[in-house]
């Protein structure tokens, strides 16, 4: 029986990039591998032409509440697929790694694309984000006993039973940190593959310093509560 793969693309005003992200998904290769594919744009209320661009590409659009975490969580609840992927809609993460990530998911419950083990294209990660991500990753490993290299990556793949077993509550950019804390709590092993990270098209939604502090505080608070 063919297995299903769902790819969730969270978007907020990504009209410049969403079409290229969808075009880049290796549909043919995935079909040849025997997978059925569901591409879902989880749109948090774009006021530009993101939704129209996605519809023109013939993919499913879910209108989700604002906030990356809340948007992806809402999409996950509506999805039924053996393997669930999440990658940003700003063309920073090449979708070409999905077949390789699916191979990893045959053996591991979770796979991420690590930018810091891979290649950062010029201008892809600003110096402050680079340092902040290293600090937050170090803090996460220290507090949760994990051994990851890129906490804030936006490129994740899960077996359905795994993602649906996590207790996820965050609404915004702490979502990836919550994924890690929950995976660590359940002792799920995370496998990383090195990826190339590209500069984004369009404007960033992350409020750099403020969101970095919120992620750090989230990691600390959840380590010492219940
Ligand atoms: N559904 C939804 N998606 C969002 C929301 N905010 C941001 N996103 C999407 O989440 C992804 C990550 O947001 P970015 O602004 O790229 O954050 P970032 O990757 O940390 O920052 P950059 O390095 O500047 O790209 C992008 O695809 C956004 O369009 C939201 O409120 N709802
Ligand atoms: Mg981005």
Question: What's the pTM?
Answer: 0.96
What's the pLDDT band for 226 if we cut at 50, 70, 90? Answer: low
Domain 3-224, CATH: 3.90.550.10
* pLDDT computed for residue 19 by the predictor: 98
Q: Of 162, 178, 159, which Cα lies nearest the Cα of 170?
A: 178
In the predicted model, what is the mean pLDDT of residues 88-103? 97
In the predicted model, what is the mean pLDDT of residues 13-41? 97
**Annotated domain spans of the chain:** 3-224
Burial class of 165 by CB neighbour count within 10 A (0 to 12, 13 to 18, 19+):
middle
Which is more confidently placed, 100 or 210?
100
Task: Give me the DSSP letters along 136-149.
Answer: HHHHHHHHH----S
Report how far ligand 2's centroid is from the alpha carbon of 225 (Å): 30
Shortest-distance Cα residue to atom 18 of ligand 1 = 206
Identify any residues that bridge with 48 across adjacent strands, giving them in sequence order.
none
Residues flanking ligand 1, CB < 6 Å: 10-12, 14, 42-44, 64, 66-68, 71, 88-90, 92, 129, 154, 200, 204-206
In the predicted model, what is the mean pLDDT of residues 16-26? 98
33-83 confidence digits (pLDDT tens): 999 999 999 999 999 999 999 999 999 999 999 999 999 999 999 999 999
What's the pLDDT band for 29 if we cut at 50, 70, 90? Answer: very high
Place of tokens 């369009």: 202
- Overall residue count recorded for the chain in this entry: 226
120-154 confidence digits (pLDDT tens): 999 999 888 899 999 999 999 999 999 999 999 99
* pLDDT computed for residue 206 by the predictor: 62
Give CB contacts under 8 A, 24+ apart, made by 50-54: 50/11, 50/12, 50/13, 50/14, 50/15, 50/18, 50/89, 53/15, 53/18, 53/19, 54/9, 54/11, 54/18, 54/19, 54/22
């Amino acid at each position: 029986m063919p297995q299903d793969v769902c790819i969730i693309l969270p978007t907020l005003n990504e009209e410049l990039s969403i079409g290229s992200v969808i075009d880049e998904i290796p549909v043919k290769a995935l079909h040849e591998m025997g997978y059925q594919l569901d591409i879902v744009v989880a749109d948090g209320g774009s006021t530009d032409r993101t939704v129209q661009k996605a519809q023109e590409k013939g993919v499913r659009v879910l209108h989700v509440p604002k906030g990356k975490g809340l948007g992806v969580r809402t999409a996950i609840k509506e999805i039924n697929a053996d393997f669930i992927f999440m990658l940003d809609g700003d063309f920073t993460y090449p979708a070409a790694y999905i077949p390789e990530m699916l191979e990893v998911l045959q053996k591991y419950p979770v796979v991420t694309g690590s930018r810091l083990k891979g290649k950062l294209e010029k201008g892809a990660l600003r110096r402050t984000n680079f340092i902040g991500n290293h600090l937050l990753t170090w803090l996460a490993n220290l507090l949760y006993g994990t051994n990851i290299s890129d906490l804030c990556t936006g490129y994740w793949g899960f077996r359905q039973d795994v993602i649906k077993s996590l207790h996820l509550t965050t609404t915004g950019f702490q979502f990836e940190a919550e994924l890690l804390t929950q995976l660590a709590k359940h002792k799920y092993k995370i496998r990383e593959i090195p990826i190339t990270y590209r500069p984004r098209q369009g404007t960033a939604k992350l409020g750099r310093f403020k969101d970095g502090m919120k992620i750090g505080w989230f990691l600390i608070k959840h380590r010492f509560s219940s």
